[in-house]
Amino acid sequence: MGPSVSLVFLFYFIPVILTFLIAFTAMDRTLSWRFIGLGNFSRLLGIGARDPLIPRILVNTIVYTLGALPVTIIGGLLISVLSMRVRSGVGLFFRAVFFIPRAIPPVVYGFLWAWSFEGTRYGLFNAIRAALGLPVVQWLIRYPMVIVILANGFLGISLAMLVFSAAIATIPQDLTRAAEVDGASEGQVVRYVILPLLKWPILTMTVWHLMSFLNSYVYIMLITGGGPYYATEVWSLYAYHAAFTQYRYGYGASLTALLVVVNVVLLLFVLKAFGMRRMLARGKIEV
């Protein structure tokens, strides 16, 4: 326990404190610490009042996060349960297929989606359509949010499935055998035996991916760039654009700080909903 605490404290905690400090400065690329107090935050709120895009960005962020989360969790459950039902070789194959998004470099994954849904004849799906004699569809103009949700959601499946299937595999066989002996069908075994035992991993994945989706912008940036015309611009991407194209780290840090606060609030909310306290009351043996 000791080493882990100190390590995490050192490498994570201190930089986080530093970041919070940076939020109160006007640090730019020159990395000079010029403290301007609450200057950044007031600008932020000032922007909120004057920049007409903020409402749309908020909506986008909510839609995106609430869209991608089910894809990941439900998809992850689906794949892990199904793949463990079929022959183990076949199951492994499918798990590998869904693991691929994490195995390939992130930029390649983003590029893959951008190319697949490219609006010209040379994008993958349009090329297939063209070969079938169908006209080209401008996917990224007509359905940008859906594509972005799917892309990130499926990426999340890779981890969810990994964790869920590992968790399922640790369930002692006696439990499921007992249920089957009692006459339970496949579906019932899943519903009443497996899922309840997966409560903690599901909580972990939900919470983690919730924050991931709130904070991630890389894939959205690669696939739609936030477009067309801010249709897929989410908060984190907006913060990135504002901070990094202008290299105003102080401002960027303040936007991030706000995002962190939002993250924490949501986090606590979800934890309460899942009844985390009750789950933690399991340490029965004392040192």
Partner 1 sequence: MVYKRLAKIVPYVTLVVVALPFLTMYVGFFMRAFGEKMTLGIIPERWSLYNFRFLWQPIAWGLEQTTMWTAFGNTVFFAAASGLIVTTICMLAGYALSRIEFRGKTFFLVLQLILHAVPGPILLIGIFFLLLYIGILHRIPGVALARAALEIPLGIWMAKGFFDGIPWDVERSAMIDGGTRFQVWYKIFLPLVKPGIAAVFIWGFLFAWHDFIYVYTLLPGTVKLMSTLIQSLLATEVIDYGYLAAMSLIYSIPPLGLFIFLQRILLKVPIFGGKGAA
Partner 2 sequence: MKRLLTLVLLILTLVSVIGAEALAQEIETITIRASVIGPGPMGIKKATNLELAAEYLNRFLEACGAPIRVKVEVEFSELKWEPFTEKFYLEFRAGKAPDIVTLRETADLAEGGYILPMTDHVQAFWNLHYYDFYPNLWEGAKWKGEIWGIPHDISPVGIWYRKDVLRALGYTDAEISKLLPEDGNTTLEVVARLAKEAVDAGLVEYGILHRPSSGPGLYATLLAFGAECYDPDKGVLVLNKPALLRFLQWHRDMVVQGVIPPAPPPWATIHGTFVEGKTFSTWASHVGTPAEWMEKYGLSEKALEEDLGFLPFQPTEQEKAKGLGPVSVHDFPLYFVTTQSKYPELAKLLIMFATTPEACAIHSAFTLRPPYRASALAHPLIKDNAYIQRTAPSAAAVRPVPIHPQFWSYQARIFEALKGVEAGVVTPERAVEDLVAWFLAEVPDGLVIE
* Residues 191-230 close enough to bind partner 2 by CB under 8 A: 225-230
| Nearest distance in Å: CB 110, partner 1 | 11
- Tell which one of 26, 71, 81, 114 touches partner 2 (CB under 8 A): 114
- Tell which one of 37, 46, 70, 275 touches partner 2 (CB under 8 A): 46
Which residue's CB is nearer to partner 1, number 62 or number 268? 268
Cα→Cα distances 48→58, 78, 235, Å: 11, 40, 12
Q: What is the rounded CA–CA span in Å between residue 109 and residue 98?
A: 13
Q: What is the rounded CA–CA span in Å between residue 181 and residue 250?
A: 63
Binding mask 14-53 for partner 1 (x = CB under 8 A): xxxxxx--x--------x----------------------
Burial class (CB in 10 A: 0-12, 13-18, 19+), 180: middle
R_g of the chain computed on alpha carbons: 23
Q: What is the rounded CA–CA span in Å between residue 169 and residue 157?
A: 17
| 100 touching partner 1, by CB under 8 A | yes
168, 81 Cβ separation under 8 angstroms: yes
| 283 touching partner 1, by CB under 8 A | yes
Binding part of the chain for partner 1, among 44-52, 54-62, 63-71, 212-220 by CB under 8 A, reads: 212-220
Site size for partner 2, by CB under 8 A? 34
Alpha carbon 287 to its chain centroid, in Å, reads 37
Binding mask 127-146 for partner 2 (x = CB under 8 A): -----------x-xx-----
- Tell which one of 143, 180, 230, 242 touches partner 1 (CB under 8 A): 180
3-state DSSP call for residue 25? strand
Q: What is the rounded CA–CA span in Å between residue 184 and residue 113?
A: 42
| 269 touching partner 2, by CB under 8 A | no
Binding part of the chain for partner 1, among 49-57, 59-67, 140-148, 162-170 by CB under 8 A, reads: 162-170
| Strand stretches in the chain, DSSP E | none
- Residue numbers of the site for partner 2 (CB under 8 A)? 28-32, 46-47, 50-53, 114-115, 118-122, 138, 140-141, 225-231, 241-242, 244-247
